Amino acid sequence: MAENNTQSGNGILETVVRNKFHFFLDVAVIFLITLGILYLFGLVPAELQSTVGRYPGAESTGGEIGELPLSLVAPSVGINTQVYNPSTTSIPVLDSYLLKGAVRYPGSGLPGGQGNIFIFGHSTGYKTVINQAFKTFVGLENLKPGDPIYVYSNDTAYIYKVQWVKKETADQALVVFDTKDNLLTLSTCDSFGAKTDRYVAQAIYASKQPLAKTASAQ
């Protein structure tokens, strides 16, 4: 019986060796499909999130001066998220990006430029959710004046200090883009076009550092 098992094992190994190209191709396809399913449900490990789900060709500065924000960290409240930069203000498109993480509103400011950067994301009161993007800005309301917020581009960390946090009604303006101050405004929302109250935090630019020197802040 042991001899038959050995022969069977050798036969499988020989088959794999003879068809190694197809074998590795099948493994790669299965891996990518599995990774895609995990990402859909927000279960991709954090160390892979910087490379999975980004569509640089669909992200745009819109001609403004500055760098695209790629991630955002508010360590005092546990916020750590990717930031997406759609090139259209279409509400369905913005809502679709909200299912992946935080979203910079097209036409608002950029790190390294001037104006007000407006970034919004989901938050929820539920402790357990399938898609972790619904918890993107959970804890935003707990930010305090002076708390740091790190906005990362490809190679630079832009540091902002919180000025205030408040609850805004649906009828109040969320953000004014035309400003000479370098500001960052964060907002929670169920849907970008929804008429609901939301928490809004405003921070002002403080400094910037090469990314390698601030990696420990993530």
Taking only the tens of pLDDT, the chain with its 218 residues reads 545 555 555 556 666 566 666 666 676 667 656 655 554 554 444 333 333 334 444 455 555 678 899 999 999 999 999 999 998 888 888 888 888 899 999 888 999 888 899 999 987 766 666 767 777 898 899 999 999 999 999 889 999 999 999 887 765 555 666 667 889 999 986 544 455 678 899 999 999 998 875 444 44
Q: Is position 25 within any domain?
A: yes
User: 65: which 2 tokens?
Assistant: 């001066």
CA distances from 9 to 5, 83, 89 (A): 6, 49, 58
Q: Is position 47 within any domain?
A: no
Q: Is position 51 within any domain?
A: no
**One-letter amino acid identity for 1?**
M
Please check whether residues 33 and 69 belong to one and the same domain: no
Please check whether residues 90 and 122 belong to one and the same domain: yes
pLDDT of residue 196: 63
pLDDT of residue 52: 35
pLDDT of residue 164: 94
Please check whether residues 30 and 118 belong to one and the same domain: no
User: 85: which 2 tokens?
Assistant: 């930069």
Q: pTM of this prediction?
A: 0.66
Please check whether residues 62 and 140 belong to one and the same domain: yes
pLDDT of residue 202: 94
pLDDT of residue 84: 93
pLDDT of residue 159: 97
pLDDT of residue 118: 92
127/109 Cα distance (integer angstroms): 32
pLDDT of residue 90: 87
192/34 Cα distance (integer angstroms): 30
Residue 70 belongs to a domain with what CATH number? 2.40.260.10
Please check whether residues 35 and 62 belong to one and the same domain: no
pLDDT of residue 28: 63
Q: Is position 64 within any domain?
A: yes
Number of domains the chain contains? 2
Q: Is position 7 within any domain?
A: yes
Q: Is position 52 within any domain?
A: no
Please check whether residues 32 and 113 belong to one and the same domain: no
72/111 Cα distance (integer angstroms): 11
pLDDT of residue 87: 86
Please check whether residues 34 and 83 belong to one and the same domain: no
Please check whether residues 124 and 191 belong to one and the same domain: yes
The domain of 139 spans 58-217
Query: Taking every pair of C-alpha atoms in the chain, what is the biggest distance, in angstroms?
Result: 82
pLDDT of residue 216: 43
